[in-house]
Structure 1
Amino acid sequence: MFSGHLDNLDRDAAALPADILQCLRFLRQIDRGAVAGRIEIDGENAYGLVQEYLSAPREACKAEVHRLFADIQFMVSGEETIGYAPLPAGALPDEAHFEERDVGYFRSVDGESFIHLRPDAYAVFYPSDIHRPRCQAGNAPEAVRKIVIKVRV
Structure 2
Amino acid sequence: MILGNINHLNLVPYLPAKIKQSIEYIKDNVNQNTPIGRYDIDGDKIFFMLSDSSTRHIDKANPEYHQKYIDVQIVLDGQEGMAINTLPPYTNRLDDQLTTNDIAFVETPKEETLLVLHSNDFIVFFPNEVHKPLCAINNNINTVRKVVIKIALGNL
Q: Same fold (TM over 0.5)?
A: yes
For residues 42 and 92 of structure 2, the distance between their equivalents in structure 1, rounded to whole angstroms, comes to: 30
Q: What does residue 58 of structure 2 align with?
A: 58
> Closer, same or farther in 2 for the Cα pair 1:136/1:21, shift >3 Å?
same
Query: What percentage of aligned pairs have identical amino acids?
Result: 24
TM (norm. structure 2) is 0.90
* CA apart distance, 1:87: 4.2
* Residue-by-residue CA offset, 1:19-55 (whole Å, 9 max, x unaligned): 1111111121022221111011111111000111210
> Closer, same or farther in 2 for the Cα pair 1:87/1:67, shift >3 Å?
farther
Contact 1:87 1:128 in 2 (8 A): no
Question: Residue 3 in 1 paired to residue 3 in 2?
Answer: yes
For residues 44 and 143 of structure 2, the distance between their equivalents in structure 1, rounded to whole angstroms, comes to: 29
Q: What does residue 19 of structure 1 align with?
A: 18
Structure 2 residue ranges without an equivalent (≥5): none
TM (norm. structure 1) is 0.92
Q: What does residue 99 of structure 2 align with?
A: 99
For residues 14 and 58 of structure 1, the distance between their equivalents in structure 2, rounded to whole angstroms, comes to: 32
Match of 1:132, as an amino acid? Answer: K
For residues 89 and 52 of structure 2, the distance between their equivalents in structure 1, rounded to whole angstroms, comes to: 33
Match of 1:54, as an amino acid? Answer: S
The total of aligned residue pairs comes to: 152
For residues 27 and 105 of structure 1, the distance between their equivalents in structure 2, rounded to whole angstroms, comes to: 27
* CA apart distance, 1:89: 6.8
Question: Residue 41 in 1 paired to residue 41 in 2?
Answer: yes
SS in 1 for 2:67: coil
* CA apart distance, 1:4: 0.3
- The runs of at least 4 aligned residues of structure 1 exceeding 4 Å deviation read 89-92
For residues 140 and 90 of structure 2, the distance between their equivalents in structure 1, rounded to whole angstroms, comes to: 36
SS in 2 for 1:100: helix
Farther off after superposition, 27-36 or 56-65: 27-36
Over aligned residues, Cα RMSD in angstroms?
A: 1.6
> Closer, same or farther in 2 for the Cα pair 1:18/1:30, shift >3 Å?
same
* CA apart distance, 1:94: 2.1
Structure 1 residue ranges without an equivalent (≥5): none
